Amino acid sequence: MKLKVYNTLILSLFPLILMAQHKLSGTVKSAEDQSIIAECTVYLNDGSKLVEVNKKGEFSFDKLPDGAYTVHFTSESFQYKNIQVLISGKDQTLQVLLTPQSQDLAETVVTDSGSDFGLVRMRSVDDMGLYEAKKSEVILTENLTANLSTNNARQAYSKVAGLNIWENDGAGLQLSIGGRGLDPNRSSNFNTRQNGYDISADALGYPESYYTPPLEGVGKIQIVRGAASLQYGTQFGGLINFQMKRPVEDKKFELTARQTLGSFGFYNTFTSVSGTAGKLSYYSFFQYKKGEGWRPNSQFESYNFYSNINYQLSEKTSVGVDFTKMSYLAQQPGGLTDEMYLQDPRQSNRERNWFQVDWNLYALHLDHKFNKSNSINLRVFGLNANRYSVGFRPNRVATIDDNSERDLIKGDFENWGAELRYLKRYTIGNIQSIGLAGIRYYHGYNHSSQGFGSTGSDADFDYVPGENKLLNDYEFPNRNTSLFMENIFFINEQFSITPGVRFEYIKTSSEGYYATEFKDLAGNILDRTVTEESRSSTRSFLIGGLGFSYKPTQQVELYSNISQNYRSITFSDMRISNPSATIDPNLQDEKGYSLDLGIRSDQGKILNYDLSFFYLNYNNRIGEVQYYNESNRVLRQRTNIGQAILKGLESYVEWNYINTFLPENKLWKGSVFTNIALIHSQYKLSEVPGITGNQVEFVPKLNFKSGVALGYDKFKTSLQYSFLSDQFSDATNATEGGVSAVVGLIPAYQILDLSLSYEFQKFKLEGSVNNLTNTIYFTRRATGYPGPGILPSDGRGVYLTLQFKL
């Protein structure tokens, strides 16, 4: 009886439900000449409903319930626009005018929502990826008033909450960032990509990034936290993708030339060309920079070339190729003990230490759109690269160089891979859905060797002649096949669910030998043994994730996601030749999961915010601990330390005070931002004595950054403040560095940066003062190269850039 009553009630309400659904339609034209725009994408709110205009410029959405909608219009040849529409009891018809890209932007007031801020977020569907309910940040480099020529990470990533940045490279040659307790070393806990393809040495076996794209050539930096593992890998950190600048569409040729002079002998030149001619488009740049460095023995010279060429095969198909070459040579001043650092942080007792990198990246990308609901993307990519280091690096940092044979390490990388993605929009009943499926194959090969280098002081990367010149020689072939799927189910206009799953097949291998030498007190070799070694590990597993998004209004979103994570041991974990370090032969892969729960804004014109809580469970965490061997000698061992729990609050808030008080103003611009990360970390379980209950390394309890920006017409200026509290550098929570200084406390520090820019006609003048108050500080204790020991960060530096655009 109850069922009949229920059915009768539903049937009686069904006509009312139908009556509450209406149609939104319209026509899209050019604001310049009222001509029809036949190529334009129109979507509602966050992209759950999307259509393409027809040849008459018409679009329509059917069966829309009453409510407020944001209608977005995107076209390659016209400026982005959005319109607020209220549907209440009747159909709505729009007449939309879009501004051509070629029109003077100074006379155009339509801009992307939130584009006045330097930080925005990924849309639910963005460039063949799904980001609904994920914690994401997008850094828009064109909105930064910062020192781009030196790749100043402290400024560029200032609005991303919780990032821990190592700052021992004043030239920005390498990016070393971590977050939530993850080791910042060469950003190895993030999946680092450029235009969607891998750029690290070996994404599986050695995920360290020796190459960092120059910010002058980057359009935007996309960062997606732990839940990105389902689409981009299994790592705990998430994704960092450098989206290079795209070719200009309204010119056949555009030239940009930038010249920078700065402190410590710094010089940078950056030249780019860009254009579109018919179906062909291109963007290419060359960068050269050199400097002497803040400390003695810190000189460097770097070359960077990038080229992107695209061809539109048809209306639905495009193909493009990328090539990147980066090479640099840097002298390394070595590390300091705590005592040396207090005496003179600018001193160096290493004149023979050098580091060289040569990086070559290749990529082919194909995009095809079957229709408005089905599209694919194929990326085929490869890497041919090497990194060589030579130097005198005893465990006792204060030891004077005796001009003996130097330690030489060589790494050669030959990797290639392919990733295919398929995106489909469909409906299940009245539920709008967007599905993503993909397959990835990765083939890695690394050759690593270590032995005796020359006794000279130049950058000589050849082993000394002789039968016993090598201490170890290994090959590391790696194979990886992945399948991944995610799907957004838009239950209604407010609520969505995003489940995902990823299957991984991983095979890591190592084959080679290592030598053990026994010496007398005078350093003479008494005996030498060679041990052959072959290891292979194959595993396959399934990880999953789930996200929820709820938008009670058009301006607010509540989001949550949970995702499993996994990190396989790398070849640097398998074998090392260091007289003061050992590796646990029973080392295991790291596993765990990450959780985000937050609330964020819609990136409006007044306020932009993202407040979130995170929880990270890190099992089998790999790290280094000190111990005493049978000879009562202090050694470091790389091992599974135990279970680490990290939890905290991350907040980012930016307020556009000019739009608040002067909403009709067109010349003044100004905003103030702050981001705070409060993190509690602890080792919950550990079989290593004295570890349980300790804080996790690389985790400052307070990570605070704030800044204010002000501009008038073509003039802009910004002032930024950064503060990080004390943090430990190893799991034992050692506070003293001892003779090697590789462990110990990293004291709290605070930095102030000032930047400004002014545009006049075809010229732009930029200036910056990094570390305005000349604070003496350090962010890193290196265990090997470029140390070992404390690596001081740069003092005050002044830089001036002149740009010309034709």
**pLDDT digits 0-9 by tens, 538-561:** 999 999 999 999 999 878 999 999
Q: What confidence score (pLDDT) does residue 575 get?
A: 60
pLDDT of residue 110: 34
Q: What is the pLDDT at residue 627?
A: 67
Question: What is the reported pLDDT for 466?
Answer: 85
User: Residue 429 has which token pair?
Assistant: 């009943």
In the prediction, which pLDDT does 443 show?
95
Domain ranges within the chain, ordered by starting residue: 19-103, 119-239, 240-805
pLDDT tens string 675-696: 999 999 999 999 888 899 999 9
The ranges of the chain with pLDDT < 50 are 1-19, 102-115
Q: 212: helix, coil or strand?
A: coil
Given its phi and psi angles, is residue 172 left (phi above 0), alpha (psi -120 to 50 degrees) or beta? Answer: left
When the candidates are 2.40.30.30, 3.30.70.560, 1.20.90.10, 2.170.130.10, the CATH number that belongs to 119-239 is: 2.170.130.10
Fold matches, 19-103 and 119-239: no
Task: Identify the CA nearest to 113 among candidates 144, 57, 146, 74.
Answer: 74
Choosing among 2.40.50.140, 3.40.50.1980, 2.60.40.10, 3.30.1240.10, the CATH entry for 19-103 is 2.60.40.10
- pTM value is 0.86
Closest residue by Cα to residue 118 from 771, 753, 671 = 671
Judge whether 730 and 625 are in contact, CB under 8 Å: yes
Contact 647, 680 (CB under 8 A): yes
Sequence-ordered list of residues with C-beta below 8 angstroms from that of 572, at least 6 positions apart, any chain: 206
User: What is the spatial distance between Cα 592 and Cα 234, in angstroms, rounded to a whole number?
Assistant: 10
Superfamily the domain 240-805 falls into = TonB-dependent receptor, beta-barrel domain (2.40.170.20)
What phi, psi does 552 have (nearest 5°)? -65, -30
Nearest in space to 558 (alpha carbons), one of 605, 608, 496: 496
**pLDDT computed for residue 400 by the predictor:** 93
Determine contact, residues 262/149, Cβ cutoff 8 Å: yes
If phi over 0 gives left and psi between -120 and 50 gives alpha, with beta otherwise, what is residue 534? Answer: beta
Rounded Cα distance between 713 and 758, Å, is 9
Nearest C-alpha neighbor of 334 from the set 400, 388, 393: 393
**Whether 214 contacts 151, CB under 8 Å:** yes
Tokens found for residue 569: 């041991």
